[in-house]
Amino acid sequence: MKAPVHVAVTGAAGQIGYSLLARIASGQLLGPDQPVVLRLIEIEPAMQALEGVVMELQDCAFPLLNDIVPTYDLNEGFNKASWALLVGSVPRKAGMERKDLLGINGKIFTSQSKAIQDNAASDIRTLVVGNPCNTNCLIAMNNAPDIPHDRWFAMTRLDENRAKTQLAIKAGVEVTSVKKLAIWGNHSATMYPNYFDATIDGKAIPEVITDEAWFKKDFIPTVQQRGAAIIKARGLSSAASAANAAIDTVKSIITPTPSDDYFSVAVHSKGEYGIEPGLIYSYPMQSDGQNLSIIEGLDVNAFSQEKIKATEAELSEEKSMVSDLLP
């Protein structure tokens, strides 16, 4: 039996947590032969709700679930963690400016990242889901200088999955036929689902979907506004699909990427494709199972260039709004 891997999850009593934890405990995150210890981090007022979540996890009798550690103590929460999934954050309330939200959540991520640096396992990797996830990740990364920059990720996979499904529906194919669809930039309404490099059953997109106007009129806005559409329909923000995207992200990071595909995750930019170095920017990525690299050398046409710069500008602005939290 392998030694258990400790997985820390913040916001564990929230909606996404509820969809995520049983999937991790059943082996869907790290594999069917990898035991896990779940370290569940919440704020103190949510500990009672978290206790209920713990009871349900116990009642599943998952063979791979070695132990559960519910806590509001960050040092205990991140102790020995090899993966930290930072899901918890404060939602935007009426009357709250974007800058206020960035400031409130930013402070959460400074203290969490210090606790990660002080307590986590030496192979710690962190995926930020809580919004605004790119900038929260930027803050966390900069406040844990001992952890290499390539261990920090922010989630744009839900947007990729949404985009792939829209293309599959339009083309009348299975979603598995759609490959090489990457989200560029910020996880926000400025994100850019770059369909120009995508393939459907190995063919270039324009060979399969000839309705060119559809991409700009329907596809991009549908993907960009999908989160809002779900809130309108469900009265709650997306949770099962967000949890699924977190699982997909980790699996893609730790599994070699097939040569005919890539995936989206926001990473520390070193200036690839002319993006401001230092931002947490979503790119097309590939993994060799250990290390990730940005897919370089893709043609970026004038339309895409405008889009990838617009989402970069938003990230630069967010960065300037939290400059007091960046050492």
What is the binding site for ligand NAX (CB under 6 A)? 10-11, 13-17, 41-43, 46, 87-91, 108, 129-131, 133, 155, 158, 187, 227, 237-239, 242
> Which residues neighbour 10 within 8 Å (Cβ) at sequence distance 6 or greater?
41, 42, 77, 84, 85, 86, 87, 88, 112, 130
Min separation Cβ 158 and ligand NAX, Å:
4
Identify whether 268 is a catalytic site residue: no
Nearer to ligand NAX, 101 or 200 (CB): 101
Nearer to ligand NAX, 91 or 145 (CB): 91
Min separation Cβ 297 and ligand NAX, Å:
27
Min separation Cβ 124 and ligand NAX, Å:
17
Q: Report in angstroms the alpha-carbon separations of 247 from 129, 206, 250, 306, 321.
A: 11, 31, 5, 31, 30
Instruction: Give φ, ψ of 41 to 5 degrees.
Output: -110, 130
> Which residues neighbour 189 within 8 Å (Cβ) at sequence distance 6 or greater?
224, 225
Min separation Cβ 15 and ligand NAX, Å:
4
Give the residue from 109, 111, 85, 107 showing the smallest Cα distance to 8: 85
Min separation Cβ 47 and ligand NAX, Å:
9
Could you give the CA distance from residue 38 to residue 9 in angstroms, rounded to a whole number? 7
The tokens describing 28, both together, are 């869907």
Residues tagged active-site: 187
